[in-house]
A and B are shown apart, each in its own frame.
Chain A
């Protein structure tokens, strides 16, 4: 599976939008882009996924670059509860989700 690159950490103020970037320059045409997050001392939680088009759900939006070599997870209004590690994951085959180290998001009041 192709590799993703994310910043180690990011900081945001509460109630402001957050843009979490992910680079995946070696993505293949059939790779899905998945985002999960892990709150402290909990199991990972699905956030959103997409293939080519931008996606919205109740938690977040996923903006996918036209060449698909990067994507951005957008939290529209960060809350303290959104402080977590966010994982950007690619996969197109098998069943495994290959978690890297992700981006640790700090939200300050």
Chain B
């Protein structure tokens, strides 16, 4: 099993450009998540999808959109990137609610100039 995979690993954007971060899991998990981690900080939840067909805002959703494409895939879109969105983005998945462990991907390092 690959677990949780993310593409791309690195990305540099100019202010105002758009891009989509891709995430896929092969563990048949119901729930998926997008977090961001700024330097020296813990992770903050952007959006999550409790189950296929549902998405909900997390702590820091502004400037992002998500799509739960199917049970395996959950994408994060930046419509008009800003320097404040420079961060490392992690995708995670779990079987369900919180007492189930979350499995994290390796992250995407995004720089917005």
| A→B interface (CB under 8 Å) | 32, 34, 36, 42-46, 49, 51, 87, 91-102
Using CB atoms, name the residue of chain B closest to A41. B107
**Cross-chain contact A100 with B99 (CB below 8 angstroms):** no
In the complex, what residues of A have CB within 8 A of residue B53's CB?
none
Residues 71-113 of B contacting A (Cβ, < 8 Å): 90, 92, 94, 97-99, 101-107
Please count how many residues in chain B sit with their CB below 8 Å of the partner chain's CB atoms.
Answer: 28
**Cross-chain contact A46 with B101 (CB below 8 angstroms):** yes
Task: For the complex, give the distance between the alpha carbons of A51 and B101 in Å.
Answer: 14
A108 to chain B: closest CB distance in Å?
22
In the complex, what residues of A have CB within 8 A of residue B41's CB?
101
Besides the known contacts A36-B102, A43-B106, A99-B35, 12 further A-B residue pairs in the complex with CB atoms under 8 A apart: A43-B4, A44-B92, A44-B102, A45-B104, A46-B103, A87-B42, A95-B97, A96-B33, A97-B102, A99-B43, A101-B40, A101-B41
Task: For the complex, give the distance between the alpha carbons of A97 and B58 in Å.
Answer: 10
**Cross-chain contact B58 with A96 (CB below 8 angstroms):** yes
In the complex, what residues of B have CB within 8 A of residue A91's CB?
98
**Cross-chain contact A49 with B99 (CB below 8 angstroms):** yes
Task: For the complex, give the distance between the alpha carbons of A38 and B67 in Å.
Answer: 27
In the complex, what residues of A have CB within 8 A of residue B94's CB?
95
In the complex, what residues of B have CB within 8 A of residue A46's CB?
101-103
Given A96-B59, A101-B42, the answer on whether A42 and B48 have CB atoms closer than 8 Å is no
In the complex, what residues of A have CB within 8 A of residue B90's CB?
43-44
Given A42-B106, A43-B104, A43-B106, the answer on whether A97 and B43 have CB atoms closer than 8 Å is yes
